[in-house]
Amino acid sequence: MKRKGVVAAGHEATAEVAREVLAAGGNAFDAVVAGHFAACVAEPVLASLGGGGFLLAELADGSRRLYDFFARTPLHRRMEGELDFHPIVANFGTVQQEFHVGRGSIATPGAIAGMAAIAGDLCRMSLRELAEPAVELARQGVVVNPFQAYIFEVVNPIYRLSPEVRRIYGGSHAEGRLAAGDLHRQPELADTLEALGREGPRLFHEGELGRRLVELCTEGGHLGEEDLRSYRVIRRDPLEFSYRGRQVITNPPPSSGGILIAFALGLLEQAGDMPPFGSREQIERLARVMRLVNESRRAHSDSSGRLREPQYLLSPPKLTALARRLRFDRGTTHISVADGEGNLAALTVSNGEGCGHLIPGSGVMPNNMLGEQDLNPAGFHRWSPGSRISSMMAPTLLHLADGGQVVLGSGGSNRLRSAILQVVSHLVDHDASLREAVDRPRLHYEEEQLNIEGGFDSHVVRAVAGRLGNARIWPDRNLYFGGVHCVLRRGDRLDGAGDPRRGGVVRSVG
């Protein structure tokens, strides 16, 4: 039988590894796991064995499941004065954003446990076979492309924190970072991936790699051996809802991203037909929806950032009341895969920005989830011990009116839900093609400011900024606005669109 499949991802190497696995007889889940291992090599700022994420899977028989392998808060909290925890500034050019890094920013990683669980439940190939392409990539090296070079520039302070990090990521640039065209070899990471293929998740949760992470955290961190031994992947029922008669399936609570996207789409539906794309009315309506979503998130979140009574946000009384205000008031990487057998996979993973230290001898940089303001809206060091961190990540499936199925997701911290919201709206409200829906300029509302991406009509932008007040107008497209990599299956036809904001690439088989 001739193999078919399509992959959309954030790097050529990630997409190509996933494509090769499909061509070799793997299914969508084999492809997405192998693609994640490759992303840890080719997209190291965005994906890491020291991070976490979510897989939304729809099987050929129509059944669905959500794998939650996101980071968990430590079981014990160290005194704030004892922590290695300090701020750095990431410079996106038009805007700067503060993150906190150091050993005290590391939450319990779930990536390794997640890949092992997915492989055990859904994949045909062994973990060793799925890790092999990434081992080869790490040994031979990956040429740094312009987008990855830009990411290293944005978060350069993190990659200059420790001598071991500078040794691996120093590159050829005068500032001591990787530059476009550098061949980046990672032999320690290759050894780690190879050991993972042999030993499985035990390597991390009970073995040598975990022991080294605990040693790293001895000075200024929270994690201990029990944090790693007790971590579990959680299999959840996805959140399902309808938007203008189209079925949407996404990440359920306790993560916030999926429920907030559902809430925003519910507000748009209550407000009536969507105005034409790019019009002042359409931009203003999206901006007001984003503002209402942010207000509601603050009003309904507890000290850990989790939404209280999340289903209340989707109740008709809440949506109707807020829709009246619409009418009368004025980071992360993603891999989407569809195979020819009917399986769909949406994998979103994150390492935050990285903590700035490597697990000694491993080539693996752990996350800084405890230092992400977006994940700690009530303030740092207020998390509840031993609980899943509430994430904005929202791997999503959209069923179109004509029977087509779209698999999508995004990186970009708080901005990812704005990006997914707008792509879904373009597909449903404006009958846009996949490519158009991804390429169109975006908005994002945060901290009482509307960010407007370059690409809208300048007269419309000026009018919107004048009416809404505090607006920042970006000169061009930027990774700040997320990166939606998506694939479409319509009957026997498969298609894909990678987001150029985050190095998007599409590869297909058959």
Query: Phi and psi dihedrals of 112, rounded to 5?
Result: -65, -45
332 annotated active-site: yes
In the chain, count H helices and then E strands. Answer: 16, 22
Q: Is 308 helix (H, G, I), strand (E, B) or coil?
A: coil
Are residues 297 and 259 in contact, defined by beta-carbon separation less than 8 angstroms?
A: no
| 382/303 Cα distance (integer angstroms) | 7
In the numeric block, the tokens 């002042």 are attached to 280
Q: Is 89 helix (H, G, I), strand (E, B) or coil?
A: strand
b/e per residue, 163-194, with b = 16+ CB within 10 A? Answer: ebbeebbbbebeeebbbbebebbbebbbbbbb
Segments of 426-491 assigned E as strands: 443-446, 449-452, 471-473, 483-484, 486-490
Query: Phi and psi dihedrals of 95, rounded to 5?
Result: -140, 150
DSSP 458-472: HHHHHHHHHHH--EE
Nearest C-alpha neighbor of 68 from the set 58, 81, 86, 56: 56
How many Å from the N-terminal Cα to the C-terminal Cα in the chain?
Answer: 10
| 50/354 Cα distance (integer angstroms) | 9
| 75/71 Cα distance (integer angstroms) | 12
Nearest C-alpha neighbor of 113 from the set 207, 49, 63, 59: 49
Which DSSP letter does residue 252 get? P
Q: Is 387 helix (H, G, I), strand (E, B) or coil?
A: coil
Are residues 421 and 259 in contact, defined by beta-carbon separation less than 8 angstroms?
A: no
Q: Calculate the dihedral angle through the C-alpha atoms of 205, 209, 214, 215, rounding to the nearest 10 degrees.
A: 160
Nearest C-alpha neighbor of 140 from the set 17, 31, 22: 17
Q: Which helix (H) or strand (E) holds 97?
A: strand 96-101
Nearest C-alpha neighbor of 390 from the set 379, 376, 404: 376
Question: Which among 108, 250, 332, 348 is annotated as catalytic?
Answer: 332
Active site (catalytic) residues:
332
